[in-house]
């Protein structure tokens, strides 16, 4: 009985409102904004041994704040949907306002059977329809009474959780019902309740057939609604939100000198995120592989500031996205979202850890207790690399930094703290006056595993090295497993599925097939209490 994530719950509320009053749904949603803002954000918990990362779907905690806000949301939605006789009549039909009263109970029950079943995501049996209708008492079409029913429906466990009973009573492993399977598919790939087509496939039973299931899965994979889930996966996997504001230091003289005449905006930061997300999306819809995503050199931005960094025209969102001309822009590693820092200095340690942990799934030891949490910054006479080397190459730090963390980060020093390509590093005094422009040293001895070690000096070489190792494909598979299942994998329990996912990711097959592998595995269609 997994709790819906915040994103899934919000989408479910919007679905409920849109099914009730489709022509007024947007206006009603806007009215809920103050209450929506109070609902807690799901917390990301790194996997054991990781220092960062994790997926918000893994947060299954229940806070009193969530309960309180959800009650307030349910009540507010109910009051809005029944605020006038016209809105109530739109929900219940003409039987709510005709001169007869004998049909009022049946009028309310029909609404519960229709709207309530779709909101709770299973066909309500007669006994449950009766129980919900009883809440309205002796005045079943009174606006306040109908509001009480709606509030209760929206606070039902069937609305707040994805309930799975299965179809075999008393067994530890049980096939899911058609409606349970429909919900699992829709929340996995769309972050939302089943649409009409998926609901119809559950109703007529075709979803439980191999051909019917595959038809729905293929349809869902081609739908724009897939982007919501894919965007969340990519953003959390690559930790895009770790990029600070690009305008917080706009009054700092060093930052002003570093940026130059054109200051980025908050929209530029958002565009950097979308550039990565759209690269993944276009890889999936075009039939590209995991490797294609890693090496994608197209720019997916309509933001002039980011487009200027890449040296391309803005993209209008239609037709092929422009190819970034510089051969040093090797794909994912050189997208601005993974390079920018919100300051005037780069973060080789951060980038090195990201490569190791998020792209290669290699664990790095925790820093010693006395390690500074302030990123090393260049001085008016020392480059970023020199400062980082001086601070991390000796003592207890050297083992991890010299061989594991720093080298990939140093290779990416050919790009500055906005993601702009550079051959020299401009150093400044505290007043923002340029003091020196030493050449950037991007050479490093990089190992990925065992004997796979060589000296490289460009992001393109690092990208090819990562791609050739096939570790990236394995790592994407592991991260997507965690995202899809909302838990960390168990070797004994999940080894077969992980092996299948890894094989797909490393084979050059479409990236979409990796996503579909999760749904095709027998465990996806079962309820299990291990």
Q: Match 């391309």 to its residue by tokens.
A: 312
Q: How confident is the model at residue 157 (pLDDT cuts 50, 70, 90)?
A: very high
Query: Is 8 in a helix, a strand, or coil?
Result: helix
Classify burial at 46, counting beta carbons within 10 Å of its beta carbon; exposed 0-12, middle 13-18, buried 19 or more.
middle
- Contact assessment for residue 273 and residue 442, using Cβ atoms and an 8 Å cutoff: no
Mean pLDDT of 38-45: 94
Question: What tens digit of pLDDT does each residue of 455-493 get?
Answer: 999 999 999 999 999 999 999 999 999 999 999 999 888
DSSP string, 227-284: HHHHHHHHHHHTTGGGS--SSTTTT-HHHHHHH-SS---HHHHHHHHHHHHHHHHHHH
- What rounded mean pLDDT belongs to the chain? 95
The residues, any chain, with a CB within 8 Å of residue 80's CB and separated by 6 or more, are 28, 31, 32, 87
Our CA angle for 92, 96, 98, nearest 5°, is 140
On the question of pLDDT at 67 being above 90, the answer is yes
Residues 401-439 as b/e (b if ≥16 CB within 10 A, e otherwise) read: beebbbbbbbbbbbbbbbbbbbeebebbeeeeeeeeeee
pLDDT at 371: 76
521: nearest Cα among 233, 213, 186:
213
- Contact assessment for residue 216 and residue 199, using Cβ atoms and an 8 Å cutoff: no
Classify burial at 210, counting beta carbons within 10 Å of its beta carbon; exposed 0-12, middle 13-18, buried 19 or more.
exposed
354: nearest Cα among 451, 238, 432:
238
Mean pLDDT of 229-234: 97
DSSP string, 160-205: HB-----SSTT-SEEEPPHHHHHHHHHHHHTSS---HHHHHHHHSS
As a whole number of angstroms, the distance between CA 447 and CA 404 comes to 8
Q: How confident is the model at residue 372 (pLDDT cuts 50, 70, 90)?
A: confident
Q: How confident is the model at residue 171 (pLDDT cuts 50, 70, 90)?
A: confident
On the question of pLDDT at 395 being above 80, the answer is no
As a whole number of angstroms, the distance between CA 414 and CA 402 comes to 19
Q: How confident is the model at residue 530 (pLDDT cuts 50, 70, 90)?
A: low
The residues, any chain, with a CB within 8 Å of residue 520's CB and separated by 6 or more, are 217
Mean pLDDT of 158-177: 91
Mean pLDDT of 270-279: 98
pLDDT at 529: 65
- Does residue 508 come out as left (phi exceeding 0), alpha (psi in the -120 to 50 range) or beta? left
Query: Is 99 in a helix, a strand, or coil?
Result: coil
- Contact assessment for residue 9 and residue 160, using Cβ atoms and an 8 Å cutoff: yes
Tokens of 468: 């050739």
The residues, any chain, with a CB within 8 Å of residue 319's CB and separated by 6 or more, are none
At residue 174, φ and ψ (nearest 5 deg) are -140, 140
- Contact assessment for residue 354 and residue 338, using Cβ atoms and an 8 Å cutoff: yes
333: nearest Cα among 361, 346, 314, 352:
352
pLDDT at 36: 95
385: nearest Cα among 432, 422, 429:
422
As a whole number of angstroms, the distance between CA 277 and CA 280 comes to 5
Question: What tens digit of pLDDT does each residue of 430-453 get?
Answer: 999 999 999 999 999 999 887 778
- Is residue 517 within a helix (H) or strand (E), and if so which, with residue range? helix 511-520
Mean pLDDT of 422-429: 98
As a whole number of angstroms, the distance between CA 386 and CA 382 comes to 6
């Amino acid at each position: 009985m997994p709790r819906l994530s915040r994103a899934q719950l919000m989408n479910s509320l919007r679905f409920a409102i849109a099914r009730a009053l489709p022509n007024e749904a947007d206006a009603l949603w806007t009215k809920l904004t103050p209450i929506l803002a109070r609902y807690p954000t799901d917390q990301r918990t790194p996997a054991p041994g990781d220092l960062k990362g994790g997926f918000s779907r893994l947060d299954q905690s229940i806070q009193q704040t969530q309960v309180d806000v959800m009650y307030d949301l349910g009540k507010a939605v109910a009051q809005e949907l029944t605020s006038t006789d016209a809105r109530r009549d739109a929900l219940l039909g003409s039987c709510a306002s005709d001169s007869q009263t004998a049909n009022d109970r049946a009028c309310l029950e029909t609404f519960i059977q229709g709207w309530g079943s779709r909101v709770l995501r299973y066909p309500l049996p007669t006994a449950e329809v009766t129980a919900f209708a009883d809440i309205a008492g002796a005045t079943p079409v009174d606006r306040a009474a109908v509001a009480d029913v709606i509030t209760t429906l929206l606070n039902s466990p069937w609305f707040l959780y994805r309930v799975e009973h299965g179809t075999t009573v008393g067994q530890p492993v049980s096939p899911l019902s058609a409606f349970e399977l429909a919900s699992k598919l829709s929340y996995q790939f769309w972050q939302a309740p089943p649409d009409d087509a998926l609901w119809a496939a559950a109703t007529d039973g075709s979803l439980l057939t191999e051909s019917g299931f595959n038809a729905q899965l293929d349809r869902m994979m081609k739908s724009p609604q897939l982007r919501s889930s894919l965007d969340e996966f990519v953003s959390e996997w690559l930790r895009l939100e770790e990029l600070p504001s690009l305008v917080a230091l706009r009054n700092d003289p060093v930052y002003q000198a570093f940026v130059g005449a054109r200051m980025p905006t908050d929209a530029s930061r958002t565009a950097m995120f979308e550039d990565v997300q759209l690269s993944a999306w276009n890889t999936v819809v075009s039939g590209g592989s995991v490797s294609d995503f890693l090496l994608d050199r197209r720019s997916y931005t309509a933001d002039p500031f980011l487009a200027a960094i890449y040296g391309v025209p803005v993209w209008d969102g239609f037709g092929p996205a422009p190819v970034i001309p510089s051969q040093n822009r090797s794909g994912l590693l050189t997208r601005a979202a993974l390079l920018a820092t919100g300051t005037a200095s780069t973060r080789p340690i951060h980038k090195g850890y990201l490569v190791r942990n998020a792209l290669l799934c290699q664990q790095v030891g925790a820093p010693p207790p006395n390690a500074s949490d302030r990123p090393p910054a260049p001085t008016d006479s020392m480059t970023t690399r020199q400062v980082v080397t001086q601070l991390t190459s000796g003592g207890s730090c050297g083992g991890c930094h010299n061989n594991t963390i720093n080298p990939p980060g140093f290779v990416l020093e050919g790009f500055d703290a906005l993601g702009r390509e550079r051959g020299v590093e401009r150093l400044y005094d505290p007043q923002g006056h340029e003091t020196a422009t030493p050449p950037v040293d991007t050479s490093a001895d990089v190992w990925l595993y065992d004997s796979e070690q060589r000296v490289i000096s460009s992001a393109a070489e690092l990208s090819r090295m990562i791609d050739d190792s096939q570790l990236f494909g394995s790592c994407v598979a592991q991260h997507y497993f965690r995202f899809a299942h909302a838990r960390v994998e168990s070797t004994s329990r999940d080894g077969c599925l992980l092996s299948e996912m890894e094989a797909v990711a490393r084979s050059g097959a479409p990236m979409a097939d990796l996503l579909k592998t999760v749904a095709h595995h027998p465990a996806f269609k079962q309820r299990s209490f291990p």
